[in-house]
């Protein structure tokens, strides 16, 4: 089974790097979409089947937190995993995201090869390298 992924980040370079990391890591990437902000991401969610959202936090137009609030308020996306890939390290703000329904978070910078095991864990697969997702997320 492959997964359709939506990458939301205002940096075009970072979106490319995340996609490259997914491909190189062995993550089973199906179709994928890119959005520059939460507003664009909402539009893409309406018209495409997406299995996983990888989202930045600090973005113009609509930031990651407001995007998360928006999809949780709609109700159709209760089971959609939303993982933040962010430079944010403030535990209180990260805790707010988890309380709002985020599935987890990874901190930028990240080692590309570690994305696969973390996301495979999120998607309920055992990638077999011993990394375990916790409610505190995965800080690498």
Partner 1 sequence: MEMEWCAPMKGAISEVLETMFFEMAEFDRTPAPFDTLYLKSTIGLTRADRVFHITFLATEFFARSLGSNFLSKNRDEVSREDLEDMMRELANMIGGSFLSRMREQDWQLQIPAFISHKSTDEGVREGLQLSREGRRVGMVSVEQGTLHG
Least Å from the CB of residue 107 to partner 1: 7
Determine which residue in the list 2, 8, 11, 66 makes contact with partner 1, applying CB under 8 A. 11
| Separation CA 73–CA 124 (nearest Å) | 25
Q: Is 108 in the site for partner 1 (CB under 8 A)?
A: yes
Comparison of 12 and 134: residue with beta carbon closer to partner 1: 12
Comparison of 14 and 70: residue with beta carbon closer to partner 1: 14
Determine which residue in the list 51, 66, 88, 125 makes contact with partner 1, applying CB under 8 A. 88
Least Å from the CB of residue 86 to partner 1: 8
Q: Put the strands of the sheet holding 3-8 in their side by side order.
A: 29-35, 3-8, 52-55, 82-86, 104-107
User: Under the rule (CB under 8 A), what is the footprint of partner 1?
Assistant: 10-14, 16-17, 20, 58-60, 86-92, 107-111
């Amino acid at each position: 089974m492959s997964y359709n992924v939506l990458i939301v980040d205002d940096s075009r370079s970072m979106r490319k790097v995340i996609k490259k990391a997914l491909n190189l890591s062995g993550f089973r990437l199906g179709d994928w979409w890119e959005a520059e902000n939460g507003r664009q991401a909402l539009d893409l969610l309406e018209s495409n089947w997406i299995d996983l959202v990888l989202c930045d936090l600090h973005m113009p137009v609509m930031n990651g937190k407001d995007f998360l609030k928006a999809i949780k308020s709609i109700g159709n996306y209760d089971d959609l995993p939303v993982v933040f890939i962010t430079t944010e390290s403030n535990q209180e703000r990260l805790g707010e995201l988890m309380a709002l329904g985020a599935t987890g978070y990874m901190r930028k910078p990240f080692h590309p090869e570690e994305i696969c095991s973390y996301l495979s864990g999120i998607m309920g697969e055992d990638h077999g390298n011993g990394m375990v997702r916790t409610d505190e997320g995965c800080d690498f």
